[in-house]
C-alpha cells in the first residue's frame, strides 16, 4: 500500500492549512487505496487571524503542529520526524499558512524566502525522484524546490502568475478542475480555492491531482 506524507501549516485558510482542501486531499488519498500521514513544523504561526472578521489577533500566538492536530484528529507528527524512506509521495494542501508559515510569500512576494526545514523535506522528495503535489497557493513553493523552469499552476491570477515566473517557475494556466503536471520533475499542482467557488469545485482538481500522484508513486 502506497504512503503519502501530508504537510500541514496550521488550521484555517487565513493563517494555516485550508481545511476543506486538507480533508478533501486526505479523503482522495484513501479513495485511491493509499494511506496518509500528517506532519507539521513545531513552531509558532506567523500570525493568528480571526476567521469570523478577518482581523489579525495581535495578542495571540498559536503553534502550527498543535493547530494542525485539529485537522488530523491528533494523528500528526513533528515535521522533523519525517523519514522520506517511509513514503512514496508528498502532498501539501493550500491555505495562507503555506504563504505565511512555510514561506513569507504573503508579505514579500517573489522576494520571499522559505523555511529551511520545509525546503529540506520538500527537496528530499525531489532528489529521490518521488512525486509531490501542491494545492491552491502552496505551488508558490515549487520554484523554490525544483530546477528553474519547473512547471506549476496558481490558476489564472495575473499577479500570482508573474510572481511564480519571477521565482523561476514556468506557469501553466489551469481551470479549477485541472492539474498542471511537470512529468520531468514529477510535481503536480491544482488551483483549488485560488479559483473554486465551492467545495465541489475544489474537490474536482484535488481528486485528479491525488489520483495521478498515487498512480506515479
For the annotated catalytic residues, the residue numbers are: 136
Contact (Cβ atoms closer than 8 angstroms) between residue 10 and residue 76: no
Residues making up the chain, counted from first to last: 217
> 3: buried, middle or exposed (CB in 10 Å: 19+, 13-18, 0-12)?
middle
> 124: buried, middle or exposed (CB in 10 Å: 19+, 13-18, 0-12)?
middle
CA atoms of 5 and 163, how far apart (whole Å)? 27
C-alpha cell at 55: 482581523
Query: 3-class SS at 70?
Result: helix
> 23: buried, middle or exposed (CB in 10 Å: 19+, 13-18, 0-12)?
middle
Contact (Cβ atoms closer than 8 angstroms) between residue 116 and residue 80: no
Amino acid at each position: 500500500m502506497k504512503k503519502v506524507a501530508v504537510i500541514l501549516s496550521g488550521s484555517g485558510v487565513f493563517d494555516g492549512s485550508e481545511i476543506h482542501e486538507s480533508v478533501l486531499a486526505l479523503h482522495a488519498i484513501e479513495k485511491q487505496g493509499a494511506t496518509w500521514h500528517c506532519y507539521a513544523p513545531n513552531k509558532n504561526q506567523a500570525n493568528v487571524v480571526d476567521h469570523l472578521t478577518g482581523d489579525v489577533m495581535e495578542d495571540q500566538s498559536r503553534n502550527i503542529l498543535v493547530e494542525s492536530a485539529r485537522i488530523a484528529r491528533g494523528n500528526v507528527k513533528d515535521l522533523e520526524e519525517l523519514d522520506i524512506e517511509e513514503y512514496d509521495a508528498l502532498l501539501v494542501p493550500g491555505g495562507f499558512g503555506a504563504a505565511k508559515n512555510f514561506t513569507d510569500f504573503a508579505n514579500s512576494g517573489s522576494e520571499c524566502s522559505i523555511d529551511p526545514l520545509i525546503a529540506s523535506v520538500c527537496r528530499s522528495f525531489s532528489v529521490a525522484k518521488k512525486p509531490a503535489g501542491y494545492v491552491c497557493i502552496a505551488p508558490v513553493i515549487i520554484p523554490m524546490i525544483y530546477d528553474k523552469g519547473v512547471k506549476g499552476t496558481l490558476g489564472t491570477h495575473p499577479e500570482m502568475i508573474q510572481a511564480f515566473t519571477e521565482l523561476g517557475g514556468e506557469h501553466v494556466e489551469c481551470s479549477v478542475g485541472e492539474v498542471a503536471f511537470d512529468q520531468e520533475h514529477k510535481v503536480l499542482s491544482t488551483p483549488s480555492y485560488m479559483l473554486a467557488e465551492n467545495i465541489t469545485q475544489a474537490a474536482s482538481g484535488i481528486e485528479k491531482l491525488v489520483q495521478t500522484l498515487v498512480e506515479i508513486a
